[in-house]
Amino acid sequence: MVPSSPLPSSPAGKRRKAAAVVIAIAAAAVAGAILVVALSTALLSSAVYSGPGEVVAVPTFEPVPDFAPCPQAVIEGNLTADDGWGVILEGTAWGDIPAIWPHGFFAVQEGDTLTLRNVDLEAVARAGDKITAGGGVITVDGVEMARVCSHIEVLPPG
């Protein structure tokens, strides 16, 4: 009987075994790198924030390429602290609604001040600020939410 593959002790069998080990190590490294990137991106902003105050989680959407479509409406509302959502927008054209922020955003509660921060840890807006942003309203699990995509700007009071 002739074996269908080289014997493990033959030179061809050893090469095949070595190639399989290399492929397994490469696959594990790629899977590990993907896991590390996913975890580090998901936790990056709030994990590296070491300033004063307590980090408050806010809903964010997955990272998307710059060319990915986003609703083209303009969202305008007052940034308000919320126990359930972290931060909501009050007084929008759609009423008071929770918001999904760009990937990496989080909030920080320091005393009486809640500050929304971006992936670069920069303060974007504070509770009480009226903001305008590109985006629109989407429905997630039956809940209407503002999808904030870009160009978040704090409007002057008044």
Mean pLDDT of the chain: 76
- Considering only residues 122 and 31, tell me which one the structure prediction assigns the higher pLDDT: 122
Lowest-confidence segment of 35-44, 80-89, 116-125 by average pLDDT = 35-44
Between 75 and 62, where is the model more confident? 75
Question: pLDDT value at position 149?
Answer: 84
**What torsion do the CA atoms of 83, 87, 90, 94 make, to the nearest 10 degrees?**
-100
Looking at the predicted structure, is the pLDDT value of residue 156 above 50?
yes
Q: Which pLDDT does position 48 carry in this prediction?
A: 73
Q: Global pTM?
A: 0.67
